[in-house]
Amino acid sequence: MGSGPDRSAPPTVGPKRDGTAAAARRSPLPGAEATADDPSWPVPLHRGRFSHARGHELRDTAGVAAATAPVPARGGAVMSGTVLEQLLRGPSGIGTAGLNLTRRQVAEVPAGAVAQVPSGKPKSGDPVPGLYFHPVAEPDAERVAEVNRRIKLWAEEIELYPPDWEDQFDGFSVSRYMVACHPDAPSVDHVMLATRLMVAENAVDDCYCEDLGGSPVGLGSRLLLAHTALDPVHTTAEYQGGWQESLLSDAPRRAYRSAMEHFTGAATASQADRFRHDMARLHLGYLAEAAWDQEGHVPEVWEYLSMRQFNNFRPCPTITDTVGGYELPADLHARPAMQRVIALASNATTIVNDLYSYTKELASPGRHLNLPVVISEREAVGDRDGYLKAVEVHNELMHAFEAEAAALAAATPVPVVVRFLRGVAAWVDGNHYWHQTNTYRYSLPDFW
Amino acid sequence: MGSGPDRSAPPTVGPKRDGTAAAARRSPLPGAEATADDPSWPVPLHRGRFSHARGHELRDTAGVAAATAPVPARGGAVMSGTVLEQLLRGPSGIGTAGLNLTRRQVAEVPAGAVAQVPSGKPKSGDPVPGLYFHPVAEPDAERVAEVNRRIKLWAEEIELYPPDWEDQFDGFSVSRYMVACHPDAPSVDHVMLATRLMVAENAVDDCYCEDLGGSPVGLGSRLLLAHTALDPVHTTAEYQGGWQESLLSDAPRRAYRSAMEHFTGAATASQADRFRHDMARLHLGYLAEAAWDQEGHVPEVWEYLSMRQFNNFRPCPTITDTVGGYELPADLHARPAMQRVIALASNATTIVNDLYSYTKELASPGRHLNLPVVISEREAVGDRDGYLKAVEVHNELMHAFEAEAAALAAATPVPVVVRFLRGVAAWVDGNHYWHQTNTYRYSLPDFW
């Protein structure tokens, strides 16, 4: 199979153990009650240790490079610099001071020269040449260490993996990942909500779909039964017990169950419903990819991209408000323009995974579908050209995301909408940072 | 495979044809703008031709039989008649006069003697002996005829099936079905929203999963690509077109696309999001069942019931508010108590399908999983005992639904909540009516 929300976090099947008691002991999250409509909301964002302070970082200035580069808008049209500039200038007033959806940065390439391949081979830990992305500041080491300590305790509590898989778990660097993706989380407890879910999602992907015992055969049953750890079964007294026990019967389900219990303790009912929906999408995506795998079928590029909108990081950025201690109301989340922005951002960030995990997947047994491979095969171009075209696809999705997010912020100048959009953008940036710097897992191909 | 939201509506793969123009011509639905908080909302319900007027119908009196019969509550406990009576008496005040969640009726059996098998063989068109259900008045013939006329025009417009499948389409009686399930729909246009979706859901199930060309092989890919007709893909300009064209490339996708276009034209964004989520659940359920089918695996009873909470009628009752021309707000829909009521109702109504389609599935090629078959196999009992136990499971789910719906209505005496719960109950009743009376498709086994 391809690459879900990435894979690692080696879990195992161990004796049943109920994490309920530990979950029940946890205290309510401080800060979770703060509303996003509070005029003070921008304050905790990008304070001190989370600020983005690199010299070439344009996050804190408005639309300088952006206004000079053509950006694809809805339907593939290109906006003029002037219109774009107006949009990116965005709303003003309380709660909008921190909004800046115009951050521009291309690796080793001056702003405005997006997606041009620079000369020279990238070094280990360098970004993909020509990739349009935004660098982030190093995540706070103290917070990373604390998240790391707690996630390992949790992994032990739910018996996620055997001791000899600890190196792989550490190499996943999930704590650095989640701290980088959630710079506005008001506390470590909030970051933990995202960290447990990320680990659980990887456990399910590894054990059910991928290398660590996974297979496309019977996957539909395994994923549905795991999904019930997120979306509970309501049946008769006689059969309810069998289902409840099943949630403790393997590491993926123990992880989903416990991570979801923590999440629902902090999220509103609508936020939990949103997460369930996004996880149902993810599982549908896994199953489409598994179907192709079983048949040895290489999809058309548009089919691959459609599948990858489901087998997608989406469930991660869309919890940014819960992790941030506020709520994007359900009716604002459901609006078509917001759904489109979320899809574009999630698609861009998922293609980042395809690009950075390319050599890892080549080295794995079997054929792993990813965007470069599918383009090469379906459009009859070489490996290098397939890869470089995939970089272009990513960049177009990123530009579309940013243009539409800016347009939505301008059309709906509500602080909570703007904060949510910024949270999604921060997740996209943090996700790139983690892929770029995770040299334990990733290396770039020899195409430059 | 088992039985999705039932199957029929023979579709076909024909030349591409875009239903957009026809959809764009339709006028906004009259009545759709009426809010459920409008004190006048109960008035259109059960007026004249939609009233439930049978002699033994207790819909319009409060808790008479109900208070005498023990009803399982959450966790399998049984509420006393007194507590139950209090709950079922429910809220009072504006908009609550029509609420009655205490309707009781068991086929041929006095109230209070639920799930006891009466003597004597049921005749064609009789209900399953011992089944706990509520009879409904015959749906208005004029409305049924008009829905039928329009759904056949729509089927022609999207080239759903070849002419020689017309008998099967007529035998499906989808118009009578949907008019019976939505007695409070303010217009034929509103009923059409549900009718198109029901036909489309059956087209996908038939052509992708079931007898009419369906197969578990590659199903994950087919269902995901069909799902994008409900939950659109957002990708680059180059690849967007390939996806858009795909939506017109076969009858199931044409049906989903057009039915969804009509639905989103009448629904709020949150209602559309809810429907997408419920359809993602449905598709996950299909894929779990397909996995078992591929492996020849008979699941445990609790596993089957878990799968059947997903491969479930749920997307049908949960649009009751859109079809009724009002909205249950997203935050009220997402509350755990509402989610539980929806799941219980949907599970009960889905087991009704297992019971009525039992002989049809026995007569089909291959082994079709249904609750009686799974109980017989997993609990090593005969066919008859498996069937009769499945009736008991159904009845327990129905009682739990009604008890929890009454409790929710009492705890949240908001007119829109009460109306939605009544709409779900009406769907459950209409669904039973359709199964019972559809002798073209269904007959009962020889167990009495």
In chain A, the residue whose alpha carbon lies closest to the alpha carbon of B331 is A270
Higher pLDDT, B127 or A86: B127
A303 in contact with B at a CB cutoff of 8 Å? yes
The pLDDT mean for chain B works out to 79
- Per-residue pLDDT averaged across B341-366, rounded? 94
Joined together, the tokens standing for residue B192 give: 């059409």
Q: What is the pLDDT of residue B211?
A: 64
Residue A238 with chain B: CB contacts under 8 Å: 76
pLDDT band, very low/low/confident/very high, at B47 (cuts 50, 70, 90):
very low
Instruction: Tell me the per-residue pLDDT of A219-271, one tens digit each, with 9 for 90 and over.
Output: 999 999 999 999 999 999 999 999 999 999 999 999 999 999 999 999 999 99
Q: What is the pLDDT of residue A211?
A: 64
pLDDT band, very low/low/confident/very high, at B119 (cuts 50, 70, 90):
low
- Per-residue pLDDT averaged across B344-355, rounded? 98
Could you report how far apart the first and last alpha carbons of chain B are, in Å?
A: 27
pLDDT above 60 (res B223):
yes
Instruction: Tell me the per-residue pLDDT of A206-226, one tens digit each, with 9 for 90 and over.
Output: 888 876 667 888 999 999 999
ipTM of the complex: 0.80
Contact B48, B378 (CB under 8 A): no
The per-residue b/e assignment along A384-400, b for 16 or more CB within 10 angstroms, e otherwise, is eebbbbbbbbbbbbbbb
Joined together, the tokens standing for residue A7 give: 């894979």
Q: Are strands B71-72 and A78-79 parallel, antiparallel or unpaired?
A: unpaired
Distance CA(B155)–CA(B163), nearest Å, equals 11
Closest CA to B149 of B132, B121, B174: B174
pLDDT band, very low/low/confident/very high, at A42 (cuts 50, 70, 90):
very low
The pLDDT mean for chain A works out to 79
Q: What is the pLDDT of residue A107?
A: 42
- Per-residue pLDDT averaged across A283-289, rounded? 97
Side-chain half-sphere of A444: how many Cα atoms within 13 Å?
23
Q: Three-state DSSP class for A104?
A: coil
pLDDT above 50 (res A52):
no
- Per-residue pLDDT averaged across B110-125, rounded? 60
Task: Using the structure block, give the residue that is written with the tokens 């079809």.
Answer: B323
Residue B359 to chain A, least CA–CA distance (Å): 24
B283 in contact with A at a CB cutoff of 8 Å? yes
Contact B11, B299 (CB under 8 A): no
Q: Please give the interface size between A and B, counted as residue pairs whose CB atoms are below 8 Å apart.
A: 235
Contact A186, A31 (CB under 8 A): yes
Distance CA(A6)–CA(B314), nearest Å, equals 32
pLDDT above 90 (res B317):
yes
Joined together, the tokens standing for residue A223 give: 């994923």
Distance CA(B312)–CA(B427), nearest Å, equals 13
pLDDT band, very low/low/confident/very high, at B118 (cuts 50, 70, 90):
low
Q: What is the pLDDT of residue A212?
A: 66
Residue A224 with chain B: CB contacts under 8 Å: 284-285, 287-288, 306-307, 310
Residue A288 to chain B, least CA–CA distance (Å): 4
Query: What is the amino acid identity at position A73?
Result: A
Rounded percentage of chain B residues whose pLDDT exceeds 90 = 65
- Phi/psi at A198 (5° precision): -60, -45
Residue B291 with chain A: CB contacts under 8 Å: 217-222
Touching B: A residues 212-271, CB under 8 Å:
217-225, 227-228, 231, 233-243, 246, 268-270
Q: What is the pLDDT of residue B74?
A: 33
pLDDT above 90 (res A98):
no
Q: Which of B72, B75, B306 is the closest to A243 by Cβ?
A: B306
Q: What is the pLDDT of residue A207?
A: 87
Contact B316, B274 (CB under 8 A): no
Higher pLDDT, B111 or A296: A296
- Per-residue pLDDT averaged across A57-73, rounded? 29
Q: What is the pLDDT of residue A213?
A: 67
pLDDT above 70 (res A61):
no
Q: What is the pLDDT of residue B212?
A: 66
pLDDT above 70 (res B156):
yes
Closest CA to A287 of B146, B402, B208: B208
Touching A: B residues 312-331, CB under 8 Å:
329-331
Higher pLDDT, B379 or A7: B379
Query: What is the amino acid identity at position A430?
Result: G
Mutating which of A302, A393, A417 best tests the B interface, going by the most B Cβ atoms within 10 A?
A302
A382 in contact with B at a CB cutoff of 8 Å? no
pLDDT band, very low/low/confident/very high, at A363 (cuts 50, 70, 90):
confident
B113 in contact with A at a CB cutoff of 8 Å? no
Q: What is the pLDDT of residue B328?
A: 98
- Per-residue pLDDT averaged across B302-324, rounded? 98
Lowest mean pLDDT among A289-303, B64-78, B123-137, B148-162: B64-78
Lowest mean pLDDT among A112-116, A217-221, A307-311, B137-141: A112-116
pLDDT above 80 (res A47):
no
In chain A, the residue whose alpha carbon lies closest to the alpha carbon of B294 is A218
- Phi/psi at A109 (5° precision): -125, 135
